[in-house]
């Protein structure tokens, strides 16, 4: 349960203002079909984060606990810094696609590759050695941040203080980095 809760919280906070959340906003504005968009976000994220979690679990089996916790701590510290850098609005999706689900799933899946939430999923899966808890937490955390955007769109984004949220996300990653760092060096 700890793996799920930590991952859910970290991903939900990290996703706010992230490029995939901006993409979700663009897709909602483009297609105006929230349920298919939300369904494909869940599908694309589940596949993407499952692969990331498997990689994390495989890495965990090859590393000593101390080295693994050190790698997780350093990765989370880097994520804290990366979170402070705002994402830029990417290319607009092609709204002419007839299959909203397929077009959105492919675009979302590709955008999620190498994204902060995917890296956090890999890192926490390795740190907690809990594939199901971490993948469930990361997928639901991403959904918790993106679903309101899909349904509320522009009204929501105008009212969120994204700079403050980035600072909270960075602080969350920094605290997790310290926790794993202490775990690595205290045994």
Residues with Cβ within 8 Å of residue 147, at least 6 apart in sequence: 38
* Closest to 108 measured CA to CA, from 52, 26, 12, 33: 26
The domain total for the chain is: 1
- Compute the average pLDDT of residues 163-171: 74
Q: How far apart are CA 62 and CA 78, in angstroms?
A: 22
Half-sphere exposure of 37 (CA within 13 A, CB side): 24
Residues 15, 141 contacting (CB under 8 angstroms): yes
Q: What's the pLDDT score for residue 143?
A: 94
- Compute the average pLDDT of residues 164-168: 72
Task: For residue range 80-130, list pLDDT tens digits in order.
Answer: 887 677 655 544 555 665 677 787 888 888 878 878 888 889 989 998 989
* Closest to 78 measured CA to CA, from 181, 174, 175, 183: 174
Q: How far apart are CA 61 and CA 75, in angstroms?
A: 18
pTM: 0.73
Task: For residue range 22-68, list pLDDT tens digits in order.
Answer: 778 777 877 778 898 899 899 999 999 999 999 999 988 787 778 87
Q: How far apart are CA 90 and CA 86, in angstroms?
A: 12
Domain that includes residue 86, residue range: 2-186
Q: How far apart are CA 94 and CA 39, in angstroms?
A: 19
Residues 11, 170 contacting (CB under 8 angstroms): no
Q: How far apart are CA 61 and CA 40, in angstroms?
A: 32
């Amino acid at each position: 349960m700890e793996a799920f809760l930590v991952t859910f919280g970290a991903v939900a906070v990290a996703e706010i203002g992230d490029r995939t959340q901006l993409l979700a906003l663009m897709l909602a504005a483009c297609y105006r079909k929230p349920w298919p968009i939300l369904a494909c976000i869940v599908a694309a994220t589940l596949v993407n984060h499952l692969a990331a979690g498997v990689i994390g679990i495989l890495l965990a089996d090859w590393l000593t606990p101390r080295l693994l916790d050190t790698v997780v701590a350093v990765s989370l510290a880097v994520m804290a810094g990366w979170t402070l850098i705002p994402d830029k609005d990417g290319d607009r999706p092609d709204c002419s696609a007839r299959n909203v689900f397929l077009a959105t799933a492919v675009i979302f899946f590709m955008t999620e590759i190498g994204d902060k939430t995917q890296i956090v999923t890999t890192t926490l899966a390795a740190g907690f050695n809990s594939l199901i808890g971490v993948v469930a937490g990361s997928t639901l955390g991403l959904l918790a941040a993106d679903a309101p955007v899909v349904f509320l769109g522009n009204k929501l984004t105008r009212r969120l203080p994204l700079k403050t949220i980035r600072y909270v996300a960075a602080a969350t990653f920094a605290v997790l980095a310290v926790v794993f760092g202490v775990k690595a060096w205290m045994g």
